[in-house]
Structure 1
């Protein structure tokens, strides 16, 4: 799915908050605290994954608009295939 500028800014914001959590997890791994280190790394990865793949209520209007435009506006390529 192609993301717009707002999606990119949202992902960048989440990454900015996930980096300290990942660094904290890496620090725990270097100290030998395996469970805590892996846990914090999983939390950081989960933060980014949730932002990327979870549909939020603010995403619904743009998804509806994309489907509506796709159904109403046909390109010349779409007409040739029918």
Structure 2
């Protein structure tokens, strides 16, 4: 499940990618296929790069997630059915 920060980052990327994709679709519909496909590819590339690229500013967040995941692991419950 994505956190609130990831959702905000995706929203910011979509603010830039959606107008390019819409303009690309309009260009494809009007017959200028090369420019339209280029804009659509740019929009898809923006979203993919934002999702997969790790920036140096993201490293502390990744480390914090890993530490929290290690600290909050659930221990196995006591098995009371083995006792006489």
Bin of the TM-score, shorter chain as denominator length: 0.7 to 0.9
Per-residue deviation at 1:17?
Answer: 1.1
Larger radius of gyration: 2
Aligned length: 79
Quick check: 23-32 or 64-73, which moved more?
Answer: 64-73
Deviations 1:13-45 (A, max 9, x none): 110111110111011101111111111000001
Quick check: 60-69 or 7-16, which moved more?
Answer: 60-69
Q: How does 1:39-58 map to 2 (within 5 A)?
A: 39-58=38-57
Per-residue deviation at 1:73?
Answer: 4.1
Structure 2 unaligned segments of length 5 or more: list them. 77-84
- SS of 1:3's partner is coil
Q: What TM-score comes out, normalization by structure 2 length?
A: 0.79
Q: How does 1:1-82 map to 2 (within 5 A)?
A: 2-77=1-76
Structure 1 unaligned segments of length 5 or more: list them. 78-82
